[in-house]
Amino acid sequence: MFNFFKKSAKPADLSLYAITAGLLKPITAVEDEVFSTKMMGDGFAIEPQADEIFAPSAGEVISIFPTKHAVTFKLTNGAEVLLHMGIDTVELEGVPFEILVKEGEQVTAESPVAKMNRRQIEDNSKTTDVILIVTNSEQFPLPEIQTKAVQQGEAIGVIKEK
């Protein structure tokens, strides 16, 4: 009858998936201090072998940066995630990116989110690393990330609330 003593349900654990094919590496290996020192949160990067970028898990698109180099998500378990394409690519003013989703759209790990023209990024002397940051990683810690080759959609690890 009364639920005073019941624990509130915690969001379910959620798997994170490779957002593209390439070399997975820990965030500390990214050649940008803002990311490698975890100023924005913990995460990982993939040196991409493809131009297609997918959602990291089930959730909602919260925002798309005007320069199209970054998309934020709120996952179904409450984790907040920033998907950042390339390093210093904000300077390219959106030219090498095509966004395939809209704010408020529901996504899964099978949902294509963006296309990035890696050649254009490299021609502008930028790094193509695709970075995924859990901005509330103090609440949703990530498993340890090992450097290895991954395929798009491959499970990276489980993210769960502390």
> Which of the residues are catalytic?
84
- How far from chain centre, in Å, is Cα 115? 14
- How far from chain centre, in Å, is Cα 5? 37
Which ranges of 10-90 would DSSP assign to H, the alpha helix? Answer: 33-36
Q: Which of 38, 8, 58, 20 is nearest to 152 (CA)?
A: 20
Whole-angstrom Cα distance, residue 35 to residue 73? 18
Inter-residue contact 83 to 56 (CB < 8 Å): yes
